[in-house]
Amino acid sequence: MFVPNAAIVQVIVEYLTDGIEWTNTLYFQSSAPIDVPKIDTVLNAVENHFVGNIASILSSSTSVTKLTGYSMASDTAPKSERTLSPPVQGSRAGSAAPLQDAATITLNTGNRGRSGRGRHFVSGLREADLGVTEVEAVFLTDLVNTYDNILTAFAGVPILWGVYSRYSGGLPRATGLFQPIIGVSVSSPKIKTQRRRLGS
């Protein structure tokens, strides 16, 4: 269900691993009203500070291919699309793990409850970075360091990266709640399952 907030930009990051598309979603706070130039400013920040960092921990069989930014003011509000040409290829040489296998990182806002934290499922990893049931410890350290670098980089631009909550007590909010991210952590080394795909 769409839940609006006129000061928020949603960014869908699209990836391609061995011919299969998958996504991550980021949320940023800007100043209302959100128009295409403001969305493009956010996309510039994501391209400059997120894409290269995240590619550094992905399998060379994975590429970051496209960014799409949406104003969350309404479900008909402006959007902007950017195809990355060339795509940004993952840096880690080696065979890709099955795409449904993912590491997870927790996005912390310092507030309690489910609305006060988010998660990213990071797929497109090397087989060598996964054990039988757990993500390798060295990779988890790299994962946290990478997201710390992203958080530090975003601190230098005039937007806030955060967690966006649509629901409270199981019911949709009238306005989405945005909380800035202040840190990241790994709550479990277990290999998780990434279910989201494009076109499925």
Contact 99, 123 (CB under 8 A): yes
Distance CA 16, CA 58 (A): 11
Average pLDDT rounded to a whole number, residues 89-94: 96
Domain map of the chain by residue range?
A: 8-193
pLDDT for residue 113: 78
pTM assigned to the model: 0.94
pLDDT for residue 156: 84
Average pLDDT rounded to a whole number, residues 164-189: 95
Average pLDDT rounded to a whole number, residues 44-58: 97
- Is the pLDDT reported for residue 198 higher than 70? no
Rounded mean pLDDT of the chain?
A: 93
